[in-house]
Chain A
Amino acid sequence: MIRFILKRIAALIPLLLGISFLVFILMHLTPGDVLSEARAAQDIPKEYIIQMEKQYGLDKPWYVQYLLWLKSIGTLNFGTSWTYKIPVTDLLAQRIPATLTLAIAALVFAWVIAVPLGVFAAIYKDSVFDRISSILAYAALSIPEFFLALLAIFFAAQTGWFPIGGRTALTHSLMSSWSQFWDIAYHSVLPTLVLGLGGIAGMTRIMRANFLDHIRSEYVTTARAKGVPEGWIMFKHVLRNAINPLITSLGFALSGLLSGALLVENVMNYPGLGQLVYEALMKQDQYVVMAAVLMGCVLLMLGNLFADILLAWSDPRIRSTTIES
C-alpha cells in the first residue's frame, strides 16, 4: 500500500512542475509587476526601485526569475503579498483551511444525499420517485452556483434565518471557543448547501447508472437464488461494487467544487482561497495569484490521490494490478 502511494506521489511531481511553469508564464505575460505601483508613484526614489528590482530578481531574464521563484517555493517561501503586506504563506494558511472545510463539508453533504438517492432511484427504476429525482437532478445540474448563491442570500435577507455572508460574526473574537465553532458552522450552512447541490445531481446520476449496471449482474441472481435477503444483496453486494466509479469521480467532483467555491466565496463574502485569487488578480498581486492557483492545483491533486487510495482500499483488485504494473 505504501509503495502504491509513493508511486502516485512521484507521478505528480512533473505535473506540478508543468503547472508552476504555466502559471508563471501566464503571470509573466500580464503587463505590470509587483513594482508597477511603486514606479508610478512620484515620491519613491529611483535608487530604491532599482534596489527592490534586484531584491525581487526582476532585473534578470524570465527563466532565471522562474527558477528563483521555484527555488523559493521549494523552501515554502511564496514571497510577500504587497497588498496585504504579509508573507503569502501566512495568507494561504488563513485561506486554505476555510476553502477546504467548505469543499469537504459540501462533498460530505452531497454524498450523504446522493448515494441513497441514487440507490433508491435505481432500485425503484421508472417509479414516480425515480422520475422526480431525475428531474430534480437535471435542475440542480443546470443552475449556476453563483445564481444559487444569490438566491440563498436573497432567502437569508428575506427570512433572516441565516447570516447573509462572511465566515464569522463581528463579535467572533469575543466568543468562547465553543460558540466560535458554532458561529463558523452557522455561517457555513448556506455556502455548503449551495456548493453541495450541484454535486448531488451529478453524483446521483453516476450512482444510479452504476447501480443499474450491477443489479443485472449474475452474482445478484446467484445471491437471490441462494435466498439472501434483498436488502442485504443491495447494500452489501451491489453497493460495494457500484460505488467505485463514484470514488473515482471524487477528484473530478473536487475540481468542480474548487471552481464553484471560487464563485460562492465571492458572492457570499466567504474568506477562502477563491476570494483570495479573485482579489489578488484584481489588484495584480502576482505572488499571491501564483501561489493561490498553485495551491488550488495541489488541493485538486491531493484530492485525486486520496480518491486513488480510497479506491485501492475499497477494491482489492485495483490495489494488486497497480502495484504489479
Chain B
Amino acid sequence: MNNRSIFQEIKRRPLGLFSLITLGILYFFAIFASFFAPYPVSKQQLNKSYHPPTIVKWGEDGLYIHETRADPDNPGRYQIITDEKIPIRFFSKGYPYKLLGIIPMDRHLIQITQNDDDARIYLLGSDELGRDVFSRLLGGAQISLSIGFIGITITMILGFLVGGLSGYFGGTLDFLSMRLVELLMAIPGLYLLLALRSSLAPYFKSDQMYLVIVIILSCIGWATTARIIRGMSLSLGRRPFVLAAKTMGQSTSNILIKHILPNLASFLLVAATLSIPGYILGEAALSFLGLGIQEPSASWGLMLKQSQQMKVFMLNYWWMFTPGFAIFITVIAFNVLGDTLRDIIDPKNQSSA
C-alpha cells in the first residue's frame, strides 16, 4: 500500500484525521516555538512567582491587559491594577532568536508594550521563578516532541538490523540476539532506564542530557521491535521471491533492503506510531525524576517536577499542571492515530475505536 492511499484512508476516519491534525498543530507550534513564545524559556521575574494566567480584555484599541502587583495582605496572590491598560501587540519586536535554528529574527506573535519593565503577559501563568509557563511549554514541546521521532528512528533501524539479520540468517547470531532481547525484556522498564542513566550520565556533560536520553530510550526500545521483525523476516526469508533473489545471486544487504524491508514497511509504520508515546512518556518520566533534561532548559516532564510542591497543591496553582495535559493530548493523539493506521493496514485485527 503506498503512502497516498494511506492518507486517503485516514481522511475517511474522523478520529484518525482529528488526531493527525492535532499532532500537526502540536508539531507546528513546537517547530516555530520561539515565534509563538512571548519570552525566552529561562527568563525569570522573581517578583512574579506563581502568577495566575493574565486576563486578556478587549477594549477600543484592541486587546489589552492590566498590570498586577503582589498582594501584601494575601501572600501568593496578586492584585490587578485597573487604571492602566497595557496593549497587546502582534508581530512586534521582542527578544532575538533563531528561527529553525538558522534564521535570525526578533518578531513574536504576541508582545506587550513595555512601559513598565515589570509588566508581563502570562497566558498560562508563571512558575516559582516567574518564568512564563506558556513560553516554557512551547520550548519544552521542542524537546518532548522531537525525542520521540529521533528515538523511534534509531530503534527502528536497530530493531530492523538485529531482527532482520537474525531472522534471515538464524543460527548462533539468532540465538545470541534473541537471548539478549529476552534479557532486556525481563527487567522492568523504568528500573533499566534508571540503571542505564546512572551509568551513562557521568560520561556526558549536563547539556548533553538530551543525547543520553535518546540513547537510553532507544537501547531499551529496540528489543520488542527486533523480536517481532525477526519473526516476520524468518517467514519472509522462506518465501519464493526471496529464495529466487538469493538464487540469482543478489547480495544479502540487497535482499534485506529491497525485498524484506518493503514488506515490513507498513508494520514498521504502525509500530513506530504506537511506540512514540513510550518515548515521550519515558523522557517525561526521567525528567520528572530529575534525571533527564536539566534546568534551565524546559521539557514537559521537568515542568511537572516543579509543580510537585505543597504550595502548588494547597493554593490551587492549577496552571502548573498544563504540561501534563500537553503530554496527555500528544500521547492520546499518537495512540488513536496508531490504531487507525493499524486498522487500515491490517483490517483483520480491528481495534476498539
Q: Which residues of A contact B (CB under 8 A)?
A: 15, 18-19, 22-23, 26-27, 29-31, 121, 130, 134-135, 137-139, 141-144, 146-147, 150-151, 153-154, 156-158, 164, 205, 208-209, 255-256, 258-260, 262-263, 266-267, 274, 277-278, 281, 284, 289, 292-293, 296-297, 299-301
Contacts and interface: CB of A to CB of B under 8 A. Distances in A.
B191 A262 contact: yes
B17 to A, nearest CB: 16
A30 B352 contact: no
Contacts of A19: 183, 186-187
B199 A27 contact: yes
A205 B186 contact: no
B313 A151 contact: no
A141 B321 CA distance: 18
Interface in B168-205: 179, 182-183, 186-192, 194-196, 198-200, 202
Contacts of B331: 142-144
A23 B190 contact: no
Contacts, number: 134
A97 B10 CA distance: 48
A95 B66 CA distance: 53
B186 A147 contact: no
Nearest to B315: A157
A263 B288 contact: yes
A147 B183 contact: no
Interface stretch (B95-103, B240-248, B277-285): B277-285
A30 to B, nearest CB: 4
Given A142-B335, A144-B285, A158-B313, A150 B304 contact: yes
Contacts of A284: 198
B62 to A, nearest CB: 36
B187 A296 contact: yes
B186 A15 contact: yes
Given A135-B353, A151-B321, A297 B314 contact: no
Given A150-B308, A150-B321, A208-B352, A259 B189 contact: yes
A126 B312 CA distance: 42
A60 to B, nearest CB: 20
Interface in B280-315: 281, 284-285, 288-289, 304, 307-308, 310, 312-314
Most buried by A among B183, B195, B335: B195
Contact of B194 (A15, A141, A277): A277
Q: What are the 9 A-B residue pairs with the smallest beta carbon separation, nearest first? A: A259-B190, A157-B313, A147-B324, A142-B332, A258-B188, A142-B331, A134-B352, A29-B199, A26-B199
Contact of B195 (A150, A208, A293): A293
